[in-house]
Structure 1
Amino acid sequence: MLNSDHQSTAPAIPGTPPAIQRIKASDKRIINGQTDVNQLVPFKYKWAWEKYLATCANHWMPQEVNMARDVALWKAPADLSGEERAMLVRNLGIFVSAASLAPDNIVLAIYRNITAPECRQFLLRQAFEEAVHTSSYQHIIESLGLDEEEIAGSYQALPSVEDKEQFLRPFMAAISDPDFRTATHENAQVLLKTLIVFGCLMQGLLGHVAYAQVIALGRQAKMAGTAEQFQFILRDESMHCNFATDLINQYKTENPLLWTPEFKQELRVLFHKAVALEIAYAEESMPTAMLDLNAAMFGGYLRQTANRRAQLIGLEALFPTEENPLPWLSAIVFFETRVIEHQSDGALSWD
């Protein structure tokens, strides 16, 4: 159904319904569009539709992943160290407790401010995938027979976790206000900044230490089903970042006056802050080396990742070039938009 704003103003013949004005693809806009947000075609942002199809082709569900070996290993006291067990419980606690941040931000804030239906279609899929991630964490917790109350409080001794949440919440709160509109220059910048924080930093950087710690277990043939689900999730998040990058760049193209030197400087500060916050988590959660990882290794990875995220949206590199000590993690995070074939037995084919 089309909005009444899109009906023709030509005189109607008595006894006939008014003519409906056709939507032109060229009239669509990322924000402040005047075309019907329910009218998917004709396409203007075909890239968004293609990314939507790619995520659908990458569909998976946690119940498809065999957890039998994980359960047996978890029940064997000598097969996992105390540090490895504490690490897994802590990271599950972080993700299951913060899992609502991403879907809430999409459904309650971003979706209603984006007026391009192709992009809104991807956001709906993204919200569903975030719900799948939440169910994945719960699937692991239930499979291993973990105490839910213990899980919920397992990370609270680490100030860096609360610091990351405090960093993110103001951006989400700003555009969650029902009265928020992007009609002004200031508010259009607020939404753009939130998209960058959400897409490039929250999903593209923060949390990567925890993902890496769990995936590293799988690289040592431990907790393979759990590690596989975390790898699925990180791949999903990488596809979300790819979409966010294109959305941000299209937003900038249609609203070039927003991309001021002052605005770019604000973004540089935010990138530096995010890197510092994630390094702090690496240092707090990994005071000694484990699983062939140590806190110092994450510094190089995070700075290099921040450089790439910044450059993809038109900012210059923020940190001096240095060697990435975790190339296997970058290979997961920056696999571009290649579709992953998900097998029903829980195995991935990384084409």
Structure 2
Amino acid sequence: MTLNWNSPTPTASVPMPQPADTADGTGLGHIERGAGRVMVSEKAMINAQADVNQLLPLKYQWAWEKYLAGCNNHWMPTEVAMQADIALWKSTSGLTADERLMVSRNLGFFATSESLVANRHLTNPECRQYLLRQAFEEAIHCYAEGTEILTDSGFTDFRDLKSGDRVAQYTPEGTVEFTVPDQIIKDRYVGEMYRIANNSKYISCVTPHHRCVYRDVRQGNAIRIKTASQVSFHNHQIPVAGIKHTGRTQLTALERFRIAVQADGQVVTGPTYSGRIKGTMPVRFCLRKPRKKERLNKLLQELKLKFTATDRPNSTETVYYIPVPVDWNVTKDFNWVCLGDVSSRWADEFIAETAHWDGYTRTNKAIVYTSTNKDCIDKLQAVAHIAGRRCGIYPVNGDKTRSQAWQAYVCTDRKDFVSGRSVQKTTYQYDGYVYCVGVPSGMVVTRFEDCVTVSGNTHTFQYICESLGLDEGELFNMYREIPSITDKAAWALQYTQTFANPDFRTGTPAADQSFLRDLIAFYVIFEGMWFYTGFAQILSLGRRNKMIGVAEMYQYILRDESVHLNFGIDVINQIKIENPHLWTPDFQREVRQMFLEACELELGYSRDTMPNGFLGLNAQQCETYMHFIVNRRCQQLGMAPLFPQPANPFPWMSEIIDLQKEKNFFETRV
């Protein structure tokens, strides 16, 4: 699920020219000077050029009404009082064990399922206006241009991130894992930006609602998340690195040889040394230091490589000539390092080996690595940060006799944080694109101006978890530890490809159907089916005056999601009207099969969250409600019902959806 207008990034406040078939964050595509006006009759849901500034006169009145409804329904989680919920949760007699299990697993699902589906493929200004509003509701919290994210190939600029790339997510336990993000966000942003920095070269530039991660030293270094506008890092720690437990643990002899070649080797190239005849390429070393000669001799022995070593007259220098197999692909870089395949133990060995060839250890035990190759410095920093070791980069200015170089300072004592004492926040005005990704843990490893940090991207559900003092590590790992939540997440990933792929284009029947299918999966199933049963679980507690603060927030979210759902259904139906050739009998059968699969997955989730049930709620009722909801969605899409018409087991849900923000269902019931 992606917010990605797929347009070139401006280097100044003025947007760069763009191809005619793309759109930027405002909905503008390529601007043709002197072109005729866009007529109302020319507006279309897909495959049309759009411009938010050509909003009026309206063609899709329903989209504009959804936008106004979203504006009227604005709310913030911090407005909701949580004192009663906290007291109830801490009380030994407040909730039953089954109720606690349901609350925990319900939050575990929703905490990692917040997402946004505003994208460049809807090409009319009314819908784009609503999607911009939805972006605000979903609390887009993003990084400034120039920010990089850690991927398994190293730090990658957000502007260069591609669909399918694996990024580093940080967990509450302080570990790092690589995962494919469920959303890639790129949006135009004009407004206030926060610069968070200290005197020791720590810096991050983010939007006001961005979630900043810190460790609360007064609460046993528990992970906390607050918005950039609210956070204070004083007397706290900012995590910047994590431990990676999975992957290979030992550096191979060939990898050590590659490190040696990068530091002191010369890969001989040219037409004479193509390797076509002997299958080898020559590598040369000119070494003076005995420790380097000893290390190279040992590596060559382990690799069983033939070589010649010649001592130069009147010199301590030894020249090595080594034929290396071409298929080893030995180069003067670290591009061969894949962080996703290795563990922290491997990373420790890599750092030590690079220091042996191009570095040294200081008296404070810090390792200093120097190179004229900035890419190698960057890769070493990335390796250090999956070893739980803070690493700073500093330039070494060149002169007439020395090239520009860089030094990486690697902490040796697993120091994985920056002290928040000297961190200051300043604001500045920003006009450009902002970027982010969505990952299950809600926290990613990023870098700005060579400074690494961990940031979060959750909001409402994180606020609930923090207020109740829940184990965030447990909750944010449920997506892979609770089978039914894992199954739902895996199923959902099948239907995010068009949203996540910046190279995807509508314009052919197959592509248009793929886009329509994903819209149905997101709006109708994710938001219109799964979310509804999940909300009903918490709201049923609220009806019994339990967890009323959490239930009030769920009430507001449900109301917002209902608007999102209705907007999505209107979009889908309008696409059907304008493109009837897409709504074939075969396609409808495919949609109905998707609904059936979603029902089975939701039933498994209900059984996991409520294995025994409790007063007023059980898994069977949730299954009946799901069948009721599915029939409603079929009707809204113009299809026959899937199930014999069941009665609605939760009629009070309709009342909650219709409430205005000023009213609280749990206070106005009679």
Deviation at 1:303, TM superposition (A): 0.8
- Given that residues 48 and 243 in structure 1 are in contact (C-alpha distance below 8 angstroms), is that contact kept between their aligned partners in structure 2? yes
Cross-structure match for 1:79:
94
Judge conservation of contact 2:625–2:649 (CA < 8 Å) in 1: yes
Q: Does 1:177 find its partner at 2:192?
A: no
> Residue 171 of structure 1 aligns to a residue in which SS?
coil
Per the TM alignment, residue 140 of structure 1 is displaced from its structure 2 partner at its CA by 1.1
* Pairing 1:343–2:343 present: no
Q: Which residue of 1 aligns with 2:515?
A: 191
Partners of 1:218 and 1:196 in 2: CA distance? 30
**Which one of the candidate residues 67, 70, 91 is aligned to 2:82?**
67
Matches within 5 A, 1:203-218: 203-218=527-542
Q: Which moved more, 1:257-266 or 1:173-182?
A: 173-182
Partner of 1:97: helix, strand, or coil? coil
Aligned ranges 1:70-109 → 2 under 5 Å: 70-99=85-114, 102-103=115-116, 106-107=117-118
Residues 63 and 127 in structure 2, CA contact (< 8 A), matched pair in contact too: yes
Q: TM (normalized to structure 1)?
A: 0.86
Separation (CA, whole Å) in 1 of partners of 2:608 and 2:602: 10
C-alpha deviations, 1:55-74, integer Å up to 9, x for none? 11011111111111111112
| Aligned partner (choices 120, 132, 144) of residue 112 of structure 1 | 120
Q: Which residue of 2 aligns with 1:144?
A: 468
| Residues in 1 aligned to 2:478 and 2:30: alpha-carbon distance in whole angstroms | 53
2:59 is equivalent to residue 44 of structure 1: yes
Task: Name the residue aligned to 1:57.
Answer: 72
Distance 1:154 1:272, change over 3 A: closer
In structure 2, relative to structure 1, the CA distance for the partners of 1:225 and 1:184 (3 Å cut) is same
Shift of 1:37: 5.1
Q: Is the 8 A contact 2:48 2:124 kept in 1?
A: yes
Q: Per the alignment, do residues 345 and 164 of structure 1 end up closer, same or farther by CA in structure 2, a change over 3 Å counting?
A: closer
Is the CA contact (8 Å cut-off) linking 1:91 and 1:155 kept in structure 2?
A: no
Say if 1:215 and 1:230, in contact at 8 Å, map to a contact too.
Answer: yes
CA–CA distance in structure 1, aligned partners of residues 616 and 649 of structure 2: 11
Q: What is the letter of the counterpart of residue 106 of structure 2? A: N
What amino acid is aligned across from residue 216 of structure 1 in structure 2? S
How far did 1:36 drift? 3.4
Match of 2:558 among 222, 234, 258: 234
Q: CA shift at 1:179, angstroms?
A: 1.4
Name the TM-score, length of structure 2 as normaliser. Answer: 0.46
Report the 3-state secondary structure (helix = DSSP H, G, I; strand = E; otherwise coil) of the residue aligned with 1:165.
helix
- C-alpha deviation, 1:158, in angstroms: 2.6
Q: Which amino acid aligns with 1:290?
A: F
Question: What is the CA-CA distance between 1:95 and the residue it aligns to?
Answer: 1.1
Q: Deviation per CA, 1:38-65: give whole Å up to 9, x if none.
A: 5322211121011100111011111111
Change (3 A) 1:6 1:291: farther
Whole-angstrom distance in 1 between the partners of 2:521 and 2:480: 24
For residue 342 of structure 1, what is the amino acid of its counterpart? Answer: K
Q: Which structure: greater strand fraction?
A: 2
Following the alignment from structure 2 to structure 1, what is the Cα–Cα distance between the partners of residues 668 and 45? 35
1:167–1:91 distance in 2 versus 1, CA, 3 Å: same
In the aligned structure 2, how far is the partner of 1:216 from the partner of 1:127? 29
Q: 1:301 aligns with which of 621, 625, 631?
A: 625
Question: Over aligned residues, Cα RMSD in angstroms?
Answer: 2.4
Q: For 1:56 and 1:118, locate their aligned partners in 2 and report how far apart those are by CA, in whole Å.
A: 14
Structure 2 Cα separation of the partners of residues 347 and 217 of structure 1:
10
Query: Residues of 2 paired with 1:276 and 1:154: CA distance?
Result: 19
| Structure 1 residue 291, shift from structure 2 partner | 3.2
Cα deviations across residues 20-43 of structure 1 (Å, max 9, x unaligned)?
A: 522211111111113435532221
**1:82: how far off?**
2.0
Counterpart of 2:132 (choices 117, 121, 124) is: 124
Aligned match of 2:36 in 2, 18, 21? 21
Distance 1:82 1:90 in 2: 12
Q: Do the aligned partners of 2:542 and 2:666 also contact (CA within 8 Å) in 1?
A: no
Q: Which runs of 5+ in 1 are unaligned?
A: 8-18
Distance 1:158 1:4 in 2: 47
Q: Per-residue displacement from partner, 1:212-260 (whole Å, max 9, x unpaired)? A: 2211111111111011111111111111111111111111111111111
8 Å contact kept, 2:552–2:664: no
What corresponds to 1:10 in structure 2? none
Aligned counterpart, 1:15: none
- Give a deviation string over 1:86-139, Cα, whole Å, max 9, x none: 22122212111222xx22xx24xxx11110111011112222222389421111
Distance across 2 between alignment mates of 1:4 and 1:136: 37
Q: Kindly tell me the number of residue pairs found equivalent between the two proteins.
A: 327
* Structure-2 change in CA distance of 1:346 and 1:204 (3 Å): closer
Question: Gapped runs of 5+ residues in structure 2?
Answer: 1-25, 141-456
Q: Structure 1 residues 280-289 or 29-38, which shifts more? A: 29-38
Are 1:220 and 1:291, in contact at CA under 8 Å, matched by a contact in 2?
Answer: no
Alpha-carbon deviation of 1:159?
A: 1.3
What does residue range 229-308 of structure 1 map to in structure 2 within 5 Å?
229-308=553-632
Q: Which moved more, 1:262-271 or 1:204-213?
A: 204-213
Please say which structure displays the higher CA radius of gyration: 2
Please list every run of at least 4 consecutive aligned residues from structure 1 whose deviation after the TM superposition is greater than 6 angstroms.
344-350
Q: What is the match of residue 648 of structure 2?
A: 324
1:166-216 deviations in Å (ceiling 9; x for gaps): 111121023421211111110000111111111111100013332222111
Alpha carbons 1:64, 1:346 under 8 Å: kept: no
Opposite residue 204 of structure 1, the aligned amino acid is: G
Distance 1:113 1:349, change over 3 A: farther
User: 1 CA distance for matches of 2:663 and 2:650?
Assistant: 29
Between the aligned partners of 2:87 and 2:126, the Cα distance in structure 1 is 45
Letter matched to residue 237 of structure 1: E
Using the TM superposition, give the Cα deviation of residue 349 of structure 1 relative to its aligned residue in structure 2, in angstroms.
7.0
Answer whether contact 2:46 2:121 (CA < 8 A) is retained: yes
Equivalent residues of 1:307, 1:317 under 8 A apart = yes
Whether the 8 Å CA contact 1:23–1:42 is kept in 2: the answer is: no
- Contact (CA 8 Å) 2:533, 2:625: kept in 1 or not? no
